[in-house]
Structure 1
Amino acid sequence: MNDDYYDLLGVSRDASSEDIKRAYRKKARSLHPDVNPDPSAQEQYKKVSQAYETLANPDKRRTYDMGGGPGGAGGFGGAGGFDFSDIFDMFAGGAAGMRGRSQGPVPRQRRGGDILRRTTLGLKDVVFGTEQDVTFRTAVLCSVCEGSCCAPGTSPTRCTVCGGTGHVQRVAQSLLGQMVTVAPCSACQGHGDIIESPCVECSGHGRVQQERTTTVKIPSGVEDGTRIKLRGAGEVGEAGGPSGDLYVELTVSADDLFERDGDDLVTRVRVPMTSAALGTKVPIETFDGAREVDVRAGSQPGDVLTLKGLGITPLRSERRGDIKVEVEVVVPKSLSAEQRRILEQFTDVRGDEPPQQPGRKADQRGGVFGRLRDRLRDR
């Protein structure tokens, strides 16, 4: 009579994964051959280890609970289910129908999952490119067993139930003749071998959870929402299987001085109306250091000045964009008596015409909409 795995570990059938892990570690410490040389304890240790290997794996536990393990009621082939392709073998002349089928043990190794992490960078990082460290918790290779899943000094043993094939055949007589079913071996869960002494550090999975830091190289010109793929930087697979990939999604934070327009940077300078009329030089801060823009005499609100080659370096190119500087003319909201008198004198000297609403013919540049269109085109 096969022992019940839950009874061996001393847990209920609805025990959580953590409960099963704690129960196994407690029993393994007292039964391990290095601690307890009693031959009966060694035999019990093997049974407890096999029970833990089955119940710690959700898929194996599900199969066991459905009757695929020792003491179970059994299903089709004792595994709680069968491959529908086996139906054809049932009517193919019994065991002879199995010839040519590709059956083999199921590898323990599985590819690790992909990981998505997000990181924030500033607009300056977009201009020049940068490197950032991304820290995350993930599965890494167990340093004790190095992915073998076995306790140090041990190795898997060939399953005596299936002979290492990972599957078993069952033949039954029916009205239609011999029926042959093929199912994963319930003793080794289809692996062909059994880990009698699982690694205590990783609980027989070949990997453990650990915090890891990876340096991500971010090229210049990336957009908000860009995802960078680091192949093989994701979680390590079960039993030392190949690692998944790491995806880093970028969020570009807003800048206090500049906005992005393609490969160009856009900013604004505010100049008094007198400076716009007379002309002036305005210092501005750029990502390349302090620069100066020349506001020509007679500049109008909305005029755009250009600083060449100080914008963003686009992906796959070395030519940088420009900085576009929009002129904002500041008109005073209130005047002192002296300022008003001087401005009225200025108006008399210039002989300014009274305010009016010019038609399209009166504006050679095509009116206010035409000027707006020209400015947008210039950008």
Structure 2
Amino acid sequence: MTTEVDFYELLEIERGADDATIKSSYRKLAMKYHPDKNSGCKDSEGRFKAISEAYECLKDPQKRAAYDRFGHAAFRNGQGGGGGGQDFNAFSDIFENIFGEFMGGGQRGGQRGPRRGADLRYDMEITLEEAFQGKSTDVTVDVSAACDTCSGSGAKPGTSAKNCSTCGGAGKVRAQQGFFVVERACPSCHGQGQVISDPCNACHGEGRVEKTKTLTVNIPPGVDEGTRVRLTGEGEAGARGAPAGDLYIFLHVVRHSIFEREGTTLFARAPISFTTASLGGEIHIPGPDGDLHSIKIPAGTQSGRELRQRGAGMPVLQGRGRGDLVVRIEVETPTSLTSRQRELLEQFRATETGKEHPQTTGFFNKMKKAVAG
């Protein structure tokens, strides 16, 4: 009686080992017991053949599942294990349970008949103002649509498709290879389960024809770059009456000359005169809604200060309220002065004590201390 060593023990791995672990362990052991490194050693040669056999089994997901279920009996081709025919049938059932999901599995999730049509993509550019307000617009696309002549069936009017005689309408055929049950698409109907003996002249049996369609797209207020609008059932028509795919409209917001956007917040740069920055005042920013937003400038405002106007930004997509408008202030130094303006500024400079510019005074005081130190 021959002693059969467990394949996992031969490869020195756990039963739940992943593929990378199996491969790594096999390589290490194969190098150790390879006949070229153990010349004349019968034990090493036998061990090398055994680990090779174990690796050939466990590296294959189907064979490994069979081994985990039935052990060495799964590979005896009917010898031992309580009767070859019963073992084969039992393994066929468990193989179908395990792999039926991936191979069609008959009625357990197998897909037969015409497939759903493909989804389509359409890229559309809109302005920031359109993203703010929302809009309704038409797009023209070339798609495969259901054939009007045969109503998408693919069969000549007055006729209909019939169940495939090869697969009996299942769309799949089975064949036994060793202890495996292999299931594949029916070669006669190509997996559709039905055949058309008298195809439609307009679509040649496809059930769909090329058409140009004009569709209305409703863009809601508050959309952003990359927002998708889905038009259900407006993609490619499925073959022979199968459901159509969807059309996805990808939105791209054109760069604005004034505003930058982060979510629902709008940012704008606003240059102001140094007198307005010094004395305070008010500026007006036109928003994407068409309104003028008044921004109050506090006296003593410095460059880089951000002033926030609540509720003056972009609308919340499919929600309530709006984001904010943030204005970044840039104080502009005059570059051209009249003699009178220069005279007034000279008079102002003559009255300066340093308290008017605390940052400037503080900076140079630090510099003096650093040099003195």
Aligned residues of 2:116 and 2:243 also touching (Cα < 8 A): yes
Aligned residues of 1:128 and 1:312 also touching (Cα < 8 A): no
Letter in 2 for 1:238: A
CA distance in 2: counterparts of 1:167 and 1:280, whole angstroms: 80
Letter in 1 for 2:345: L
1:262 corresponds in structure 2 to 263
State the SS of the aligned residue for 1:211: strand
CA distance in 2: counterparts of 1:352 and 1:170, whole angstroms: 96
State the SS of the aligned residue for 1:281: strand
CA distance in 1: counterparts of 2:216 and 2:333, whole angstroms: 51
CA distance in 2: counterparts of 1:169 and 1:317, whole angstroms: 54
For residues 218-250 of structure 1, the C-alpha deviation after alignment (integer angstroms, 9 at most, x for no partner) is: 334333223334443321110010122222222
CA distance in 2: counterparts of 1:353 and 1:155, whole angstroms: 95
CA distance in 2: counterparts of 1:186 and 1:353, whole angstroms: 92
1:8 corresponds in structure 2 to none
1:153 corresponds in structure 2 to 158
State the SS of the aligned residue for 1:343: helix
Structure 1: unaligned runs, 5 residues or longer: 1-87, 363-379
How large is the Cα RMSD of the aligned pairs?
A: 4.3
Aligned residues of 1:138 and 1:211 also touching (Cα < 8 A): yes
2:205 corresponds in structure 1 to 204
CA distance in 1: counterparts of 2:279 and 2:185, whole angstroms: 90
State the SS of the aligned residue for 1:347: helix
State the SS of the aligned residue for 1:257: coil
Aligned residues of 2:228 and 2:249 also touching (Cα < 8 A): yes
CA distance in 1: counterparts of 2:262 and 2:312, whole angstroms: 13
Aligned residues of 2:128 and 2:288 also touching (Cα < 8 A): no
Residue 358 in structure 1 maps to residue 362 in structure 2: yes
Letter in 1 for 2:299: A
Give the paired residue count.
Answer: 270
For residues 148-196 of structure 1, the C-alpha deviation after alignment (integer angstroms, 9 at most, x for no partner) is: 111222233566677767678999xxxx9xxx99987665556565423
Residue 112 in structure 1 maps to residue 117 in structure 2: yes
2:335 corresponds in structure 1 to 333
Compute the displacement of 1:140 (Å). 0.9
Compute the displacement of 1:122 (Å). 1.9
Compared with structure 1, are the counterparts of its residues 309 and 143 closer, same or farther at alpha carbon in structure 2 (3 Å cutoff)?
same
Compared with structure 1, are the counterparts of its residues 166 and 151 closer, same or farther at alpha carbon in structure 2 (3 Å cutoff)?
same
CA distance in 1: counterparts of 2:311 and 2:193, whole angstroms: 65
Q: How does 1:208-357 map to 2 (within 5 A)?
A: 208-288=209-289, 289-352=291-354, 356=360
Compute the displacement of 1:345 (Å). 1.3
Aligned residues of 2:112 and 2:170 also touching (Cα < 8 A): no
Compared with structure 1, are the counterparts of its residues 359 and 170 closer, same or farther at alpha carbon in structure 2 (3 Å cutoff)?
closer
2:22 corresponds in structure 1 to none
Compute the displacement of 1:346 (Å). 1.9
1:143 corresponds in structure 2 to 148
For residues 81-117 of structure 1, the C-alpha deviation after alignment (integer angstroms, 9 at most, x for no partner) is: xxxxxxx9x9997xxx8x9998699854221111122
CA distance in 2: counterparts of 1:187 and 1:246, whole angstroms: 32
Letter in 2 for 1:152: P
Compute the displacement of 1:134 (Å). 3.4
Compared with structure 1, are the counterparts of its residues 241 and 281 closer, same or farther at alpha carbon in structure 2 (3 Å cutoff)?
same
Compared with structure 1, are the counterparts of its residues 345 and 112 closer, same or farther at alpha carbon in structure 2 (3 Å cutoff)?
same
Aligned residues of 1:112 and 1:237 also touching (Cα < 8 A): yes
CA distance in 1: counterparts of 2:183 and 2:269, whole angstroms: 75
CA distance in 2: counterparts of 1:309 and 1:169, whole angstroms: 66
1:130 corresponds in structure 2 to 135
Compute the displacement of 1:283 (Å). 2.6
Identity %: 37
State the SS of the aligned residue for 2:348: helix
Structure 2: unaligned runs, 5 residues or longer: 1-74, 79-83, 97-104, 367-373
TM-score, normalising length: structure 2: 0.58
1:85 corresponds in structure 2 to none
Compute the displacement of 1:142 (Å). 0.6
2:24 corresponds in structure 1 to none
